[in-house]
Structure formats: C-alpha cells, structure tokens
Amino acid sequence: MCAVLLAGLSACGGNPKQPAESPGQTAEALKKFDDEKFGMFIHWGLYAIPAGEWKGQYVRGIGEWIMNRARIPVKEYEQLAKQFNPVKFNAGEWAQVAKDAGMKYVVITSKHHDGFAMYGSKVSKYNIVDATPFARDPMKDLSAACAAAGLGFGFYYSQDQDWHEPNGRGNTWDFPAGRNSQQYLRDKVMPQVKEILTGYGQLSLIWFDTPGMLSDQQVTDLRRMVKTLQPMCLINSRIGHGKGDYLQTGDNAIPIQVYSKTKWEVPATLNDTWGFKKNDHNWKAPADLIAKLADIVSKGGNYLLNVGPTAEGLIPEESQSILRTIGKWLDVNGESIYGTSASPFYFPDITWRCTVKPGKVYLHLINWPGREFRFEGLESEVKKAYFLANGKDVPYKREGNTLQFTLPEAPVDPYDSVLVLDIAGTTPRVAAGFASGSLPAKLDLYAWTARLRGEEIRYDRKSMSATNFKNVDTEKNELWWYPYESLEGNYSVEITYACDSKAAGSEFRIGAYDGQNAPRAVEGRIESTGGEFVTRKVKGTLQVARDDRYIGFSLPDDDKSAGVRVRKITLIR
C-alpha cells in the first residue's frame, strides 16, 4: 500500500525535491480543454445488471445509486460481480460513437460510489478482472482506442463516497459507526488513483465527485499526487476545498447567463439516469441537445454528455442515434463551436445564442424567430452576414447598434441555424447595456434554461413549457435555475403558465435556495387560464443573494396542478 503522503511523494513515485505543480502545464491543458467543448461521459458498472430494479421492485432515482437507494447490503451487492460479463464490449466501437458525435474527449467511471473498480486494480480484489467472469481490463482497451481515435481520455473516480468500505462515506446501513477518512485515503484512494494515473497513458483529466468527508489537507495531498505524476492531467472542482482546476457545475445545471469567472463544464444526461436503467426511455431530442450545446458553449462551458452502457457492454441504440445526429450537425457547424469564446452579449430570451472567434460572430438561432430577426448591441461594422450551413448571404438593415435581418421562411437547419457575421476588427464592440454581466431590469427565466428535476417532469419544445409536476418524495419534480452570482438583488416576480380548470388549485413556490437555510420565497396559487398561456404577478418580493445555489419553482404540497404548463418566471429588479 502507498504510505500517507504528508511530507512528500517519494512513496508513490514522486520526487519531493521537485515542484509539485507546473502552472504552465495546467494552463496549457486548460486551453486545450476549453477548445474541445464537447465530451462523452460514460457511467458503467455493476449497477447496469439490476438496471433500476431490485428483487422485482422498481427503485426510483438514477441507476448507479441503486445500492444506496435500495439500501442493499454489501454482501448482497457483491454477488452482482459474479454475473458481470460484458462480452459485447468493443472499445473501438465506443470510441467511434464518441468520434461520430463530434466529441473530443471521453471520461469513464473507474470506481463509482459502489466501490467496485472497473479496471484491474491491485489494491482491491473487488474489481472487474478479479471478481467477474469477464476477467480482463476493459479500460486498457478503451484508453488505447481513444488514443487511436485522437480522443482525450480521462477517469471518473469517487474519492469520498464508497459504500463498499466501512471507512468510505455513504453506507450507513452496513456501517453505522464513525469513519476513519485517513485510513480510507491511505489504503484505497491514494493507491488506486496512482494506479489509474500510471497504468493508462496520458490522462486528460480526473473527474472526482461528491466531496464531503476529506479534509483540506487530505485533498491537498491528493491533488499534489495527481499533479506530480501527471502535470497535464486536469482536476475538476469536485475534488473539494477549492482545489480543482476548473468548475464542475451541478448535474444538468447550466448557468442562466455567461459565466467567465473560471472555466467550467456541465455534466449532463441523455435521459433521466447516468447508469443504465432498462425502463428509462425519456430520451432528450437532438434538437434540444444541440441547442444545449450551443447554450453551454456560448456561456463559456464544456458539455460532458453521458451514455450508460448495458451490462453486456453495449451503448444503447437510442443513445447512439441521438449522438450521431449531433455529430452530423457538428460536421457542418463545428466552426461555430470548437475553439470559440463565450458570448460578449447577455441573452434576453431563448431565441439565440452567440459564440465568437477573431473577426467573427456566430449567432445560433436555436428557436426560429420567423422572417425577421432583430439583434441588438453590436457596434462593430458588419462586413458580411451569411448562414454557415450553406454560405448564402442574409440581407439586413442597420439602425445604430441594431441589426434587422430578413430570414427565409423556414430554418436553414432544423436544429440550430448558425448566422455568421464577419466584422471589422478582431473583437466585437458591444454597446453599453448589452454586454454579458449587465443584465436588464426585467429578466425572463425560461423553463428551457432550467434543470428539469424528477423522473416525471417533461418539456414541450413547441409550447416552450414544462409540465407533469408529480408530487413524489425523491427526486421532486421541480424547475431549478442556476444564477452563478449574476442575480443578487430584490425582485418582483411574474409567472407565465397555462392551466385548465381541472388542474387548478395547487399552491406554488418560487424560491432562492442557498443549500443550507430555508428558501427566501414568494408563493401563489395555480388558477385556471382556460388552457391559454397568461402572465400573472406573484405577491411579494424575492430576495436573491450572491451565493444562492439556485432559484426553484415547485408545487410543494400536492400535485393537483401537475398538468400546469410553466413557460417562464420573470424577475423584475
């Protein structure tokens, strides 16, 4: 076992006389990461066998958490390893799916919270080589396949939660006693992280998760080992204690506006789960995912989109079809995504998003505005306007800093029609009051920009609204918007929704949540709108603090009004 690394790293192959980090190499890796924009997340493990059911009973929640949600004893869960034999696994095919999707890097679970190593670990026999009939290391194949395909390769590693270990965090049904975090770090985390750093070539990143138990010093030791063994390996913020190289947002959590304080990445699902669940067919439409890609990149982030392979080792056909549709769009429009910078403009609604390169502004028309499109805030001279997909010029008129474009009747692209503006100068000149960071006095938070929480909630693209707010214990069906320090202030609130008389009656809550205290909230009652969308003022004032984690909409008490269709919340400063 690797000794505790408090005084140095010599026990794990590092040289304590050398600097633990090279800021220049981290900066170089971050620049490459920022240019790539789009990656594949893979959640694969023993949880793919039960696939959402335990002893004939459906288990709510994400698939890889079934051991926790069903409180499965370690000895019972361990038996799944004897069944795990993914004979249809083909690393080359997996890498090709990522390549076809236009993704630039792959991140896969080496050990999730269930404690099972999906690689050939010498630290614990509880791994895919020693404990399963498969008896070989699929990560060797996948790292090689990604290298051959020109894809970056990284590992997810759960460094804090481990339901298999008495000293890991999370399993209170088998191990109710206290935890010795230092022993867990010394005996399992450090030596296993060393294994994945030294046995699979150059890693683009290590994706840590759910910090909570480890101390600042313990996290510092873990980071130092990573950076000593692989200086170009990035570390996400979920290592804990502010020790990451870039910000990991919450799951499926996209900032409402441009966020430029640091580099960031959104981990997101193709359906409701991460690990495979056989009954989860809530696949997101390619139109929505392509729009989300444009949205995330325009705000300064990367999009890490997940697939959950089956226990046989197959990426579901639905996942493959969706991803290849995204890839076909990127084949034509990738210039507006890869290597771009975030929008210099704030976003007033969900009609368009913006990315930029030197001398170019890319306007992503993700919700077709019709024959006329009004774009405000650009002071730079426009030398030419044309569609990226076909190169055809787009006529426009200019009045001050407003451009009025005349568009064709139908979108040039069914998902995202990219309008390119060739401008004078390298950097767009933005008019006062339109720059990212300078929000208007009245800001719409559309359901489309929210995280849709819960298994039942659905989004209808045609009506631009979310519905089916079923009342359940976990995970509650709510809308969450993530301000990321952009909305501090006091607001009056409006809600735009549609509801027929049969579905009226539930009380709703719109609150600002800091994750620790009760929400600061305004409340109202869902009233019938005759099925038509209306905008109604909510009584009271909503106070949003700088560090609030999210703004949420919910029906906290019942689901009589589950069928309400919520289009947007409007905050008026």
Give the CA count within 13 Å in the CB-facing half-sphere of 395.
5
Which residue in the block uniquely carries the two structure tokens 């929210």? 450
Task: Name the amino acid, one letter, at 129.
Answer: V
Residue 431 lies in a domain: no
Residue 1 lies in a domain: no
- Tell me: do 359 and 319 sit in the same domain: no
pLDDT (0 to 100) of residue 21: 85
- Tell me: do 136 and 191 sit in the same domain: yes
Residue after which a domain boundary falls, among 423, 450, 477: 423
Two tokens at 153?
């390769």
Q: What Rg, from alpha-carbon coordinates, does the chain have? A: 24
Which residue in the block uniquely carries the two structure tokens 């696994």? 89
Residue 430 lies in a domain: no
pLDDT (0 to 100) of residue 2: 36
- Tell me: do 419 and 446 sit in the same domain: no
Task: Please answer whether residues 311 and 51 qualify as being in contact, where contact means their C-beta atoms are separated by less than 8 angstroms.
Answer: yes
Distance CA 490, CA 572 (A): 8
Residue 344 lies in a domain: no
pLDDT (0 to 100) of residue 22: 87
Which residue in the block uniquely carries the two structure tokens 């002071």? 379
3-state helix, strand, coil in the chain (%, to 5): 25, 30, 50
- Helices 286-298 + 317-333 axis angle, to 10: 50
- Tell me: do 299 and 356 sit in the same domain: no
Two tokens at 430?
């933005």
CATH number at residue 473: 2.60.120.260
pLDDT (0 to 100) of residue 7: 27
pLDDT (0 to 100) of residue 18: 40
Q: What is the 3-state secondary structure (H, E, C) of 471-523?
A: CCCCCCCEEEEECCCCCCEEEEEEEEEECCHHHCCCEEEEEEECCCCCCEEEE
Number of domains in the chain: 3
Query: If you ran DSSP here, which 8-state letter would residue 46 be given?
Result: G
What is the SS3 assignment for 76? Answer: helix
**Model-wide pTM > 0.75:** yes
pLDDT (0 to 100) of residue 391: 98
Residue 559 CB neighbour total at 10 angstroms: 17
Q: Which residues contact 562 (CB under 8 A, 6 or more apart)?
A: 456, 467, 468, 469, 470, 471, 477, 503, 506, 555
Two tokens at 486?
């952009």
Report the b/e string of 511-545 with b at 16+ CB within 10 A: bbbeeeeebbbbebebebbeeebeeeebeeebebb
Residue 43 CB neighbour total at 10 angstroms: 24
- 521: domain range? 442-572
- Tell me: do 213 and 270 sit in the same domain: yes
CATH number at residue 404: 2.60.40.1180
Query: Which neighbouring-strand residues pair with 375?
Result: 403
- Tell me: do 24 and 101 sit in the same domain: yes
- Tell me: do 42 and 143 sit in the same domain: yes
Q: Which residues in the chain come in under a pLDDT of 50?
A: 1-19
Query: If you ran DSSP here, which 8-state letter would residue 420 be given?
Result: E
- Tell me: do 306 and 417 sit in the same domain: no
Q: Pairing mode, if any, of strands 451-453 and 507-513? A: unpaired
- Tell me: do 388 and 497 sit in the same domain: no
Residue 347 lies in a domain: no
Which runs of consecutive H residues, i.e. helices, occur in 118-180? 138-148
Residue 288 lies in a domain: yes
- Tell me: do 287 and 405 sit in the same domain: no
Which residue in the block uniquely carries the two structure tokens 């407003």? 402
- Tell me: do 303 and 364 sit in the same domain: no
pLDDT (0 to 100) of residue 5: 28
Total residues belonging to the chain: 573
Q: Pairing mode, if any, of strands 152-157 and 105-111? A: parallel
pLDDT tens digit string along 32-61?
A: 999 999 999 999 999 999 999 999 999 999
- Tell me: do 92 and 215 sit in the same domain: yes
pLDDT (0 to 100) of residue 212: 94
pLDDT (0 to 100) of residue 20: 61
Residue 342 lies in a domain: no
Query: If you ran DSSP here, which 8-state letter would residue 231 be given?
Result: T
CA nearest to 163, candidates 72, 45, 87, 44: 72
pLDDT tens digit string along 481-517?
A: 999 999 999 999 999 999 999 999 999 999 999 999 9
What is the SS3 assignment for 534? Answer: strand
Q: Exposed, middle or buried by CB within 10 Å (0-12, 13-18, 19+), for 207?
A: buried
Task: Please answer whether residues 314 and 278 qualify as being in contact, where contact means their C-beta atoms are separated by less than 8 angstroms.
Answer: no
Residue 4 lies in a domain: no
